[in-house]
Amino acid sequence: MNTSLFTFLSMLFFTGLVAAISWSFTRKAKDVGAHGYFMASGGLNGWFIAGSMMLTNLSIDQLVGLNGDSYAHNLSSMAWEATAAVSTIALALFFLPRYLRGGFSTLPEFIEKRYDVTTRRVVSGLMVATYTLVLNPASLYLGAITFNQIFDLQTILGWSYPATISLLIVSTGVIGAAYAVLGGLRAVAVSDTINGIGLLVVVILIPIIGLWTLGHGDVLSGAQTIMHDTPEKLNAIGGPQDKVPFGALFTGMIFANLFYWCTNQAIVQKSMAAKNLAEGQKGVLLSGCLKLLVPLAMLMPGVIAWHLFRDQPLANSDLAYPALVSALMPWWMKGFFVAVIFGTVMSHFNAIINGTATLLTYDFYKTLRPLADDEALVRFGKRVSILAALLSLVVAPLLMYAPEGIYAVLRRFTGFFNMPIIAIMLFGFFNARGGAFPAKLVLGLHAVCYAVFVLGLKIDVRLGISFIHVMGIMFAIEMLILIALRKRFARAQPYVAVASSRLMDLTPWRHAASFSYMLVAALVSIYLTFSPLGVASATGPSSWYAPLMASVWVLALVAANISRRRWRLRENAAKHTLTNCEVHS
């Protein structure tokens, strides 16, 4: 009881400290009106963008779900996270410049300009439903089971498991919603960044403590134990029997990650609030760099838990991470850990709430009441934030009855709408004539087919293929439909992107391309390391490992050098043109 009390009090201290710092930052900022509340007045720098994007993404469902997968299987599920680095490159170099040039506050704004208002509302409604009924409830539920495991609150209170989990869900949700409702996007971004620093410390510290325990006081000995005893658990190259076969990286996963990182309002809203394009690109690419820590931080604890608890297997793989923390974390650090996890749950929750309110305010309320002033927009945004939070609180306890790991459930349900949205977005960027009817047809057809064949009949199980491949097949079919109907249902006038009247520096970050090459090289290196050519082999790294690794980095360095030279040439040409203009004037 004394230890639990100390943990609880220290958690309150660290949580209060984050709140105080966030209040200090937001108090000094001059966020006025709807643009200030929903978009932080377009004033976020790269650090805040990276921190907020990461905390919106790296919620408790990754910590619990990914470690549960590695506990039960191997590292193949890291593909969902590590390969996101490629999607952050796409956001930084392709999508973000177009979003900022158009001055959009929501992604469906582009869809209305490119297609029509009905398509915009359908896409926005799908996002809102998923945020409220799936993503936020999952984050609250997984946070609750983690807190219960650490504090053993069920025993202390003497309540039933459902009642205890429901209490924790409501407590976390109420505090998280307060950030989003009272503070707006800037408060969310600041608290996310502070919590992100704490999360990095924790997620790196846990596997180190785990290896130290496994090696009886020697981290290297613990690592050798894993590599020698069960090297197959370190394999990130998933086979047909794994949840993420390696081939799925090149089918549905590419487009699932493109949707999540490039068209998902809750994620992209942070980069759209950048003070300029360069800061936005810095923040996005930095978040991609942080995603490459996933194999160490988000899956290795699950492998360690399997070794520590294999004599007494856990009842549920989703308990692997909470059980490991409860067993290994020193009592005097548990308060800090719980504060970080609490902040992670809260950050994800309030970011989703803020994104939901932005979508409902701009895509529904403002389009129906175009003359509404800023005060009315903010008031409506706060009201729908509260409603969205309450609905998530009602749904979250129901997830304790999910028949499979929660991470798999999340990924399966996001496939309900991600493929058609990324399909119509890409088609809209690359084709100026296709009309609105094919886009609406694809959205409706995908929802029906996915519900019937994937969620209902589970065709992936019947055919013995991953549902990720099914998503890739559906994406290809939907793109073919859009292309086939582009002339039959063409726009009267081709779509022309119109620059926003909002003043913003759209000069790219000079190191964006070279940094992107380094990210790709680091991603390939991680996959080489955690493969049968690397540490996932009983005989150790293959003779091919070192030459392949060297080749990857040589190519990346050459490409980065060429990119820097091209930038300097363009920069010198621009200066020369400016000088000539000054002379003539």
| DSSP code at position 507 | P
Residue 104: pLDDT above 80?
no
- pLDDT confidence of residue 188: 60
Lowest mean pLDDT among 172-186, 360-374, 507-521: 172-186
Structure-model confidence comparison of residues 48 and 356, the more confident one: 356
Alpha helices in 274-361 (DSSP H): 277-291, 294, 300-309, 320-328, 334-360
Which of the listed ranges 136-145, 220-229, 399-408 does the model predict with the highest average pLDDT? 220-229
- pLDDT confidence of residue 161: 81
Residue 549: pLDDT above 60?
yes
Residues 576, 579, 583: CA angle, nearest 5 degrees: 140
Structure-model confidence comparison of residues 343 and 531, the more confident one: 531
- pLDDT confidence of residue 388: 85
Residue 380: pLDDT above 90?
no
- pLDDT confidence of residue 484: 93
Q: How confident is the model at residue 159 (pLDDT cuts 50, 70, 90)?
A: confident
Q: Tens digits of per-residue pLDDT, 434-467?
A: 888 999 999 989 988 888 888 788 888 888 888 8
- pLDDT confidence of residue 517: 94
- pLDDT confidence of residue 275: 83
Nearest to 178 by CA among 188, 168, 164: 188
Mean pLDDT in residue range 541-569: 91
In order of 93, 247, 331, 438, 526, the CA distances from 237 in angstroms are 28, 9, 37, 37, 11
Nearest to 453 by CA among 80, 411, 240, 445: 445
Q: How confident is the model at residue 553 (pLDDT cuts 50, 70, 90)?
A: very high
Q: How confident is the model at residue 22 (pLDDT cuts 50, 70, 90)?
A: low
Q: Tens digits of per-residue pLDDT, 329-340?
A: 777 777 777 777
The answer to whether the beta carbons of residues 106 and 266 sit under 8 Å apart is no
Nearest to 344 by CA among 566, 52, 578, 133: 52
Lowest mean pLDDT among 31-40, 93-102, 112-121: 31-40
Residue 561: pLDDT above 80?
yes
- pLDDT confidence of residue 2: 63
Nearest to 227 by CA among 522, 523, 527, 530: 530
Lowest mean pLDDT among 5-14, 36-45, 49-58, 554-563: 36-45
| Percentage of the residues of the chain whose pLDDT score is greater than 70 | 85
Alpha helices in 29-106 (DSSP H): 33-39, 46-57, 60-72, 79-82, 84-90, 96-102
| Percentage of the residues of the chain whose pLDDT score is greater than 90 | 14
In order of 548, 554, 556, 563, 566, the CA distances from 559 in angstroms are 17, 9, 5, 6, 11
Q: Tens digits of per-residue pLDDT, 71-100?
A: 888 888 888 888 888 999 999 999 998 888
156/164 Cα distance (integer angstroms): 10
Mean pLDDT in residue range 193-207: 77
- pLDDT confidence of residue 204: 82
Q: How confident is the model at residue 326 (pLDDT cuts 50, 70, 90)?
A: confident
- pLDDT confidence of residue 483: 93
Residue 285: pLDDT above 70?
yes
Q: Tens digits of per-residue pLDDT, 505-534?
A: 788 888 899 999 999 999 999 999 999 999
Mean confidence (pLDDT) of the chain: 81
Which of the listed ranges 345-354, 412-421, 557-566 does the model predict with the highest average pLDDT? 557-566
Name, in order, each residue with C-beta under 8 angstroms of 19's C-beta and a sequence gap of 6 or more: 191
523/79 Cα distance (integer angstroms): 10
339/503 Cα distance (integer angstroms): 39
Q: Tens digits of per-residue pLDDT, 467-493?
A: 888 889 999 999 999 999 988 998 888
Residue 575: pLDDT above 70?
no
Alpha helices in 362-435 (DSSP H): 366-368, 374-395, 406-414, 418-430
Q: How confident is the model at residue 415 (pLDDT cuts 50, 70, 90)?
A: confident
- pLDDT confidence of residue 402: 60
Q: How confident is the model at residue 291 (pLDDT cuts 50, 70, 90)?
A: confident
